Amino acid sequence: DQPQDDVCKAVMRLTPAQQGADLTVDAAGFTATCENAVRCVRPAGRMVQVGLPIGDKPPQIHMGSVAGKEIEIVGSHGFSADDLEALLQLVATKQLDPTCLVESEVSLEEGCRVLESMDKRSPLGVVMITKFDTDRASHGRSNL
């Protein structure tokens, strides 16, 4: 079995009548996660693709399977400013925990190394620059 087969087998095991999930969302943006999101959705279910999948090869989606299962595929490249308030409210009330999307935190200096290796991104999450050398950043600035 391939790892993606294990994902779909687990989803099928956990869903009613082993039909698949009502809704799948690929926000990771990898070929395998996009393909799994389509494969793991139930007949007449919905798959949402958030952002653009990355990688050397585009996702291979069998359109006969999409039509045969009557799957609705919805693309989302971002969100409107009107959605931001509701999103922040979900985070504030702890109904949504965005920290699970963060693989690691790095310094601004390490950010260059991370940027150079983005084509080899890990499927674990995003890397965030959260460490700034404030002493170094203030050099050369006048204090008016």
Instruction: Return the beta strands (E) in the chain as ranges.
Output: 21-26, 41-50, 72-76, 102-107, 126-131
Domains of the chain and CATH, by start: 1-78 (3.40.50.720), 96-139 (no CATH)
Residue-by-residue pLDDT tens, the chain, 144 positions: 556 668 889 999 999 899 999 999 998 888 888 999 999 999 999 999 988 887 778 899 999 999 999 999 999 887 777 778 888 899 999 998 888 878 888 888 888 787 777 666 555 667 788 888 765 544 554 444
Q: How far apart are CA 36 and CA 9, in angstroms?
A: 11
Neighbouring-strand partners of residue 129: 106
Q: Taking the model in full, what pTM does it have?
A: 0.58
The tokens of 86 are what? 């509701």
With b for 16 or more beta-carbon neighbours within 10 A and e for fewer, the 130-143 pattern comes to eeeeeeeeeeeeee
